[in-house]
A and B are shown apart, each in its own frame.
Chain A
Amino acid sequence: MALFRLLSSLVLSGLVLGAHALTPSHHLAASDVARLEAVLSQSFTDLQSAYYSIVGLNKLGVSVADTDEACRFLQSNVDPTSIASLFYAAEASQSLSGCEIPVSNETRDFLLAAVSEDSTISQIHNSVSTLSSLGLPLASQEVVSALTSRITKEDNVYAITLALQTAAHLSQQADLSGILEEIEDLAARLDDLGGVYLQFEEGLEATALFVTAAYALSDHVDMEPPLKEDQVIQLVNSIFSKKSWDSLSEAFSVACAAAALSNNRFHVPVIVSALGPATVSHRQPLLQLQVTNVLCDPLTSASVVVESASSVTTKSAILNQSPFSLRDGIFELNFMNSQPASGYYQFAVAVTGDSRLVANHIELKVKVSTEVVISNMDLSVVDKDQSIGTKTTRVDYPSKAKNSFVADSHQNFAMSFQLVDVNTGVELTPHQTFVRLHNQKTGQEVVFVAEPDSKNLYKFELDTAERKSEFDSISGTYALYLIVGDATLENPILWNVADVVLKFLDEEAPATVQTKTLYVPKPEIKHLFREPEKRPPTVVSNTFTALVLSPFLLLLILWIKLGANISNFSFSPSCILFHVGHAAMLGLMYVYWTHLNMFQTLKYLAILGSFTFLAGNRMLAQKAVKRLTMK
C-alpha cells in the first residue's frame, strides 16, 4: 500500500514537473564562483596546470596575477617535440595579452604532419588548436576527413568531445555537418537521473567538456545545438551541483562550461533566487531577487515581471503583470504596496528581454509576515452554578495581573482575548495559541490549547474539577502563560498573564514525578521452564501394567481349555519360514519403537513383509488344499 502511494506520488510529481518547465535546482553562488577562481589561481607546477589556470581564469573573466611571469613560464617550459606541450603553451599564451610563443618552421611542419588518420583525435585536436592559436594556416578539409575516420575508431565520450572542439577551430567553408551530427549522438548518451540531472557516466568533467565543445561548435557554425531547454537545465544541475572540485582539470572544465552557458548564441540559463529569505513585512516591504546567468553575473538587460501572485490559502490573485525595478544589480518589488494579508503567496515570475534565455519562468513562494497584538484579554473566575456574578479583570500586554485568581472545584477559571494584526487590524488565527500553567514549586506544567469561536474571539476555560487528573490534584499557585506563535508572525509571544491558585479536593501527596524511575534496571524476569507433567507413582503404573497384560494369560488359558490344537502343525519349509518371518516382523515393530524411524522401518518391513507374504501364501495354499481334500 505504501509502495503504491509512493509510485502515484512519483507519477504525479513527474506530471507536475512536466507541466512547468524545469528550473535549475543547483547553481553556483557568488561564493562558489570565488572558490572556483581561487582553485584556478594556484601557482603552476607544470605546463598543463599553467594552461588550466590561465585559460580557466580567462573564461571566468579574470586575469592571472602576473601575466609577464606567466608568459615567461610558458616560454621556458614549452617542449617543441611534444604536441601536447605546444598545445598548452599556445592556448595559454592566447589568453594572456601580449604573449607570444616563438615557433620554428620545423615545429609547424611537425604540427601539420600530426593531422592524419594515424594520429589519435587528441593529437589532432592539440595540433589544430595550436595552429589556430598561433595563427598558422591549416587544411580544414583534411582535418575533417581525418576526424571523421578517427571517430569511427575512437568511440568514447572524451574523444568525440575533442573532435567537436577541433571542428570549432576550422574554417566555415569546410563540410562540418558530419561532425555536427555527433553532438546529437553524444547527447543521446547522456544519462537522465531522476529527471533532474543529465550527465555522462564518465562523470562531471566529461559532461562539462561536452557542453563547452557543443556550444563552441554551434556558435561557430551558427546552428542551434539539438538540446531541449529541459536538457540544458538538467546539464546545469549536473555540472554545478559539485561545489568543490577534486582536481584542477575538473575545475577547469566547470569554468569552461560556465563560460559557455553564460555566453553563447542560443541558450542562456537564467538563475533566479531570492536575496535572503523570500519574506516581506512592514519593516522589509521589498521582495528582492537575484537574476543572474550561471556565472552569477546579473542580467541587467533583462526585464523581470511578476506574471501573477496569488494567496496560497484563498487562491485570490493579488498582483498581475507587475514589473520589478533594478537597483544595484538586484531586482526589487514593493509587495506591501498591494496590502497583502499575512500568509503565503505563490508568485510566477517571468524574465524576458533576450530570446536566448532558458528557464525564465519561475515559481516562487513568498511569505508575508506581520506582528500580532493581544487585545481585550479578560480573565475571570466563574462559579459553576452561575449564581455568583463573574468579576472580569482586564490585563494589558505585557503587564501581569496584580491579584492572583483563586479557583477551587466549584469554580471555573475563564480567559478570553483577541489576536489582531498590528497593521491592518484584521483578526488573526495563528497556528499556536497555548495556555501554559506552571507550578513553580513542583516544576509541573500543563499546557492547554485556546480555541477561537466563530467570531475569532479566543476563549479558554479551565474546569478545575474536570481537569484535576492533569494536575495530579496538586493544589497550589500556578503561573499562567499565554504562548502565541506562527510562521507568519514576527513577534511570537510568551506572556505571564497572571497567577492562578488552584484548589483541588482529596489531594494526595504524590511522589515526585515518576520519570526518575523509568531508566532504572527493572526487576529480573526469571524464566519459568515448562514443568514436566506430574507422573503417577511407579507402584500405580506397575500395577496397571500388570493388569493390562493379565488378559493375555486369560487368553492362553481359554485357548488351552478350548483345545486349540497345534498338532496339525506341519513342518514344511514354507510354514516355518512364514512363522519366522512373522516373528521377525513383530520384532521389527519393537525395534522401530526403540531405535528406528519410519523410513528405515518401512524399508525393512518391505523386505520382511514380501518374504513373509510369499511363505505365508504358500503355507495357506497348502492348508487350503489339505482342507479341501479332507472334505
Chain B
Amino acid sequence: MAASLFSVISRFLEEYTNTTPNKLKLVDAYLLYILLTGAFQFLYCLLVGTFPFNSFLSGFISCVGSFILAVCLRIQINPHNKGDFLTVSPERAFADFLFANTVLHLVVVNFIG
C-alpha cells in the first residue's frame, strides 16, 4: 500500500516537472509560499492563543484570499484551459488578479488593527 502510494507520488512529481510550463510553476511556487505563510499563522494561533484576534483573522484571510486569487490566475493562464476562457487573455487575467488583490489587501489592512 505504502509502496504504491510512494510510486504514485514520485510519478506525479515526475510528470509535474516535465509537463507543466514554467509560468505555471512560478505561480505554483507562489501558491506554496502563501500556503506555508497561512499554515504558520494558524500554528501560532493554536500554540500561543488568539490574542489580537482581528490581526490573526486578517492575516489568515489574506493568505486564504491570495491563495484563491492565485489559483484563479493559474487556471486562467493555463494554455490547456484556453477553450474555456476565450474572452480572457493572460494579460487580462493578470490585471484582474492585481485588482482583486488590491481590494483584498485594502480590507485586510483595514482589519489588521
Contacts and interface: CB of A to CB of B under 8 A. Distances in A.
B36 A551 contact: yes
B53 to A, nearest CB: 10
Contacts of A73: none
Nearest to B99: A613
26 contacts: A536-B48, A540-B48, A544-B44, A547-B40, A548-B37, A550-B36, A551-B36, A551-B40, A552-B33, A552-B37, A554-B32, A555-B30, A558-B29, A564-B22, A582-B98, A585-B102, A592-B106, A593-B112, A601-B106, A613-B99, A616-B95, A616-B98, A620-B94, A620-B95, A624-B89, A624-B90
Contacts of B90: 624, 627
Contacts of A605: 102, 106
| Interface range, B side | 20 to 34
Contacts of B29: 555, 558-559, 562
Contacts of B36: 550-551, 554
Interface string A545-571: 001101110110011001110000000
Main secondary structure of the interface of B (DSSP, over half): helix
B109 A562 contact: no
B95 A617 contact: yes
Nearest to B89: A624
A343 to B, nearest CB: 75
A551 B26 CA distance: 14
Interface of B: 22, 25-26, 29-30, 32-34, 36-37, 40-41, 43-44, 48-49, 51, 89-92, 94-95, 98-99, 102, 105-106, 109-110, 112
A189 interface: no
A534 B51 CA distance: 8
A620 B94 CA distance: 9
A534 B52 CA distance: 11
Interface of A: 533-536, 540-541, 544, 547-548, 550-552, 554-555, 558-559, 562-564, 582, 585, 589, 592-593, 598, 601, 605, 609, 613, 616-617, 620-621, 623-624, 627
A150 to B, nearest CB: 82
A601 B103 CA distance: 12
| Shortest beta-carbon contacts, A-B, top 10 | A620-B91, A551-B36, A555-B33, A558-B29, A544-B44, A548-B40, A551-B33, A536-B48, A624-B91, A589-B109
Nearest to A563: B22
B58 to A, nearest CB: 10
A564 B94 CA distance: 16
A598 B103 CA distance: 12
Given A558-B32, A605-B102, 18 more contacts: A533-B51, A534-B51, A536-B48, A547-B40, A547-B43, A547-B44, A551-B32, A552-B37, A555-B33, A559-B26, A562-B25, A562-B26, A589-B106, A592-B110, A593-B109, A616-B95, A621-B91, A624-B89
Interface hub of A544, A552, A598, A613 (most chain B Cβ within 10 A) = A544
Given A589-B106, A592-B109, A564 B26 contact: yes
Contacts of B112: 593
B48 to A, nearest CB: 5
A620 B92 CA distance: 8
